[in-house]
Amino acid sequence: MDEIAGRWIPLGLIYLAGAVRQAGLDVEIYDAMAKGHTYIEIEHRLRESMADYVASTAVTATINDAVKILELAKSIKPDTVTILGGVHPTFMYEEVLAHSAAVDYIVIGEGEVTLRHLLEVLEVGGNPETVAGIAFRRGGTVVKTDSRVFMESIDDLPVAWDLLDWKDYYSLVIPDSRMGAISTSRGCDHGCTFCSQQKFWNKTWRARDPQKVADELEYLHTTHQVNVFMITDEYPTRNRERWETLLDAVIARELPIYLLMETRAADIIRDRDILWKYRKAGIIYISFGVETADQSTLDAMKKGQVLEEAKQVFDILREQEIVSEASFMVGFPGETPDSIKKTMQLAQQYSPDIANFFTFTPWPYADGFNDLAPLIRTHDYGKYNMVDPVLEPYKMSTLQIEVSIADGYRRFYMGKIMEFMTMKATFKRDYLMRITKLFMGSSFVMKKLGLGILGKIPAKIEEIRRGIRE
């Protein structure tokens, strides 16, 4: 939904570019994704820059492309030093270094301080083993240095807002908008087994000073005309007192901005009495995960959520004219056509404004991944995107999973269109009409719905065949 609704800024690269400046080097940010560039344009840009260092970040779904770009940089300028960071390389550094000689260094974990230190050492010809938080090859073996502790404070992270090509970032849902992003905290101390963030941040949570967050929002609005912000936090509302202080600080500035965020259902219920402050501060969109209709599956994932909570949240958000988005997940190892049907029915019953249906994707570095190995049907990391099924449940095929998702989208949004059209004319109604039109007209949805139609009969045959075999 994010890519369909607009173009978001690469906030992590802004911090990393700031760290490079602290190391005394010139730096530029190249967001090929936002520009819609292919490898042809990327190669041209690399030839133009002839950079001494080329760095990229990657999650599992983008690791292949990130490595390919570093390989391209090496082919153009063999003495280029390449650096890779992000969630996937952090945990899979040995595999990445073994599979591509084009990756020189991997930054493990939080990157700003490590990247700065690494560059300072390399610039003077020092020993990279003195840099905590990296991995690299030496003499045919992988060297991993001591782990780097997280920064105590994230209030003074280096930023390089001026390096963004701001015209590339906009919301397709809100007219005449400029899209930005802001981080108010880092980490999450919950233990959801399917989430990579709690593992990356080692179940820690650090928050920024609310006044500094409000100052940054005001600066970006005044200096760069940003009026739509994605709050990128994994868990922004963890501490109610601090969160309310932040809302009050934003309200006091009377900024004409819109804020979009993600949080947990229990916190919305907790904050019911101050939800008017959410709206007054500019929060128009809140997303959270319901995941499944099966409470035992939620408990097994250590989600820490009671299904009945979710239903309350949608009713609460309607009262404040805040758009609600819920994510649902299917394709668990024990999934059956009946369990998927219950999840799809739950989506319609709870009736969030927007629903996303994802596939259960076991990350290759997750605890228990090896136990699921017999069910894994592809090791192409490009498909580890929570859209393409990579795991085949014991009692279903991947085709059945895809057809079920397509059917879920079709049923949910066909029921929503009339609801949106008959809403009282408000900002929320216009927002939902625009986003639904974008969503239903996207190539992603067209592809899924097409598969749902064409694959329905083969999927049914597969269901019958499996039933006979069992």
Residue type, 281: A
Establish if 151 belongs to a structural domain: no
pLDDT tens-digit profile of 288-328?
888 777 777 766 766 667 777 788 899 999 989 999 999 89
186 and 123 in a common domain? no
The H-or-E segment that residue 230 falls in is: strand 228-231
235 and 287 in a common domain? yes
Establish if 351 belongs to a structural domain: yes
CB atoms within 10 A of CB 78: 8
376 and 250 in a common domain? yes
pLDDT tens-digit profile of 24-42?
999 999 999 999 999 999 9
Could you give the residue ranges of the DSSP H alpha helices within 77-186? 87-91, 93-99, 112-123
Establish if 172 belongs to a structural domain: yes
Residue 68 · residue 50 · CB < 8 Å: no
Residue type, 447: K
pLDDT given for residue 295 in this prediction: 73
Could you give the residue ranges of the DSSP H alpha helices within 100-234? 112-123, 196-200, 210-224
pLDDT given for residue 425 in this prediction: 73
Tally the domains of the chain. 2
Band (pLDDT 50/70/90 cuts) for residue 55 is very high
Task: Report which of 13, 61, 66, 57 is spatially closest to residue 39, judged by C-alpha positions.
Answer: 66
CA distances from 418 to 292, 350, 421, 423 (A): 25, 17, 5, 9
Task: Report which of 74, 15, 84, 17 is spatially closest to residue 50, judged by C-alpha positions.
Answer: 74
**What is the average pLDDT score of the chain?**
89
CB atoms within 10 A of CB 319: 11
**Which pair of structure tokens corresponds to residue 410?**
């079709």
CB atoms within 10 A of CB 72: 17
195 and 77 in a common domain? no
pLDDT tens-digit profile of 165-185?
999 999 999 989 999 999 999
Last residue of a domain, one of 114, 144, 174: 144
Establish if 155 belongs to a structural domain: no
Establish if 154 belongs to a structural domain: no
416 and 275 in a common domain? yes
54 and 19 in a common domain? yes
Residues spanned by the domain of 440: 161-469
Q: Give the whole-angstrom CA distance, residue 221 versus residue 259.
A: 12
pLDDT tens-digit profile of 244-274?
999 999 999 999 999 999 998 889 999 999 9
Q: Which whole number is the average pLDDT over 50-62?
A: 96
Domain of 131, CATH number, reads 3.40.50.280
**Which pair of structure tokens corresponds to residue 334?**
């024990």
175 and 136 in a common domain? no
Segment among 84-88, 99-103, 350-354 with least mean pLDDT: 350-354
pLDDT given for residue 451 in this prediction: 59
209 and 127 in a common domain? no
Establish if 152 belongs to a structural domain: no
285 and 195 in a common domain? yes
pLDDT given for residue 456 in this prediction: 52
Segment among 9-13, 222-226, 227-231, 465-469 with least mean pLDDT: 465-469
pLDDT given for residue 201 in this prediction: 74
Q: Give the whole-angstrom CA distance, residue 364 versus residue 334.
A: 19
pLDDT tens-digit profile of 422-458?
888 788 888 988 888 887 776 666 666 665 555 554 5
Last residue of a domain, one of 109, 144, 179: 144
Highest mean pLDDT: which range of 114-123, 149-158, 408-417:
114-123
Three-state DSSP class for 314?
helix
The reply to whether the predicted model has a pTM over 0.85 is yes
Domain of 335, CATH number, reads 3.80.30.20
Last residue of a domain, one of 144, 170, 193: 144
pLDDT at 402 over 70: yes
Cross-strand bridge partners of residue 327: 289, 356
